[in-house]
A = this chain, B = another copy of it.
Amino acid sequence: MKTLQEGKNPLFMDPDPDQAREFFQKKQRAMTDKRMTEKEAVEKFIPDGCYLAIGGFGANRIPTAILHEILRARRKNLGFLGHTSTHDFQLLCAGHCLKKIDIAYIIGLEARGLSPNARRVMESGEIEVCEWTNYALCVRLRAAAEGVSFGIARNMLGTDTLKMSGAKVIECPFTGKKFVALPAIWPDVAAIHVHEADIYGNCHIRGISVADLELARAAKRVIITAERLVDSYAIRINPTRTVIPFYLVDAVVEVPFGSYPGNMAYEYFSDEAHLSQWLTTEKDPAEFQLFLNKYIYDVSSFEEYLELCGGIKKLKELRRLEALVDR
């Protein structure tokens, strides 16, 4: 197939669907109890050098407990896929965990401003980057979920974003029109936070799913953190609601308030004061190190982190904000 133009940056992962099929052929399909702690999940499924993707949208419905655990376990040289990655990216930069990244949006925390530390890390050159757009990454995951080696779209055309990507421009065999071919990507592991899961990994999500349904299908291993575990009758009574079925999932970790300090739709709003503290403290590297020690490295569990940040009183306040009861 003739390639009309191609991005200059390398692909970090093999887009061959047969390597993925070979893996999935051996993946367990039986419904077994997959509960474990976040520590066990990171030990088992996120080794140094593996390629990771994080669900949610930066500071919304993110698996914070897994991210903290990755830092505590001092994981290094990770690959990373980030469409709009904000607090998740900030955390991984804080731990200097990353080596090569496929990204669309980094450094920023949207309306909150930019992360000084993530910017330092990015400008230091310690991380290899391949440029994409949010939809381009969505198409790459979707193609993997479809078991094919590429998907097509009409974005990035004519721009430097395309030049600094790993995409190729091809011609449609039916219309002769140009399309960007986006290579499928099967991350080694994905961590996704959901509202409810049963012990087998069947999941419910309320509100937007971002690109997590594609991600759960593309990733070779899936770690689920859930606000709460539910009986599997809660799954079977309304199978229309299941968005991630058990056979995709390798680990189920119950983590109430697991997206904190991020927003969890219908549960709690983001802790803007705490996120703002991150951005402020990052300005001074020495102070930031103490901050990281206090909130992550010297902390033994996610529950302890929640307590440090204000415990139940704070969480009640964030619930009220989410539900807008105090307007």
Interface set of A (CB-CB < 8 Å, partner B) = 1-3, 11, 15-18, 146-154, 168, 170-175, 177, 179, 181, 183, 205-207, 239-240
Contacts and interface: CB of A to CB of B under 8 A. Distances in A.
A151 B16 CA distance: 17
Given A150-B172, A179-B149, A206 B1 contact: no
12 contacts: A2-B2, A15-B174, A17-B154, A146-B153, A148-B154, A149-B175, A149-B177, A149-B179, A150-B152, A168-B173, A173-B181, A207-B240
Contacts of A149: 172, 174-175, 177, 179
Given A1-B173, A2-B2, A183-B174, A147 B154 contact: yes
A173 B150 contact: yes
A156 B190 CA distance: 32
Contact of A170 (B153, B173, B240): B173
A206 B168 contact: no
Of listed A147, A148, A172, A174, residue having the most chain B CB within 10 A:
A174
- Interface of A, secondary structure class, is loop
Contact of A177 (B11, B16, B172, B206): B16
A172 B151 CA distance: 10
Given A1-B1, A16-B175, A149-B172, 5 more contacts: A1-B170, A15-B174, A17-B154, A149-B179, A150-B173
Of listed A3, A173, A181, A240, residue having the most chain B CB within 10 A:
A173
A179 B173 CA distance: 12
Nearest to A139: B146
Contacts of A179: 148-149
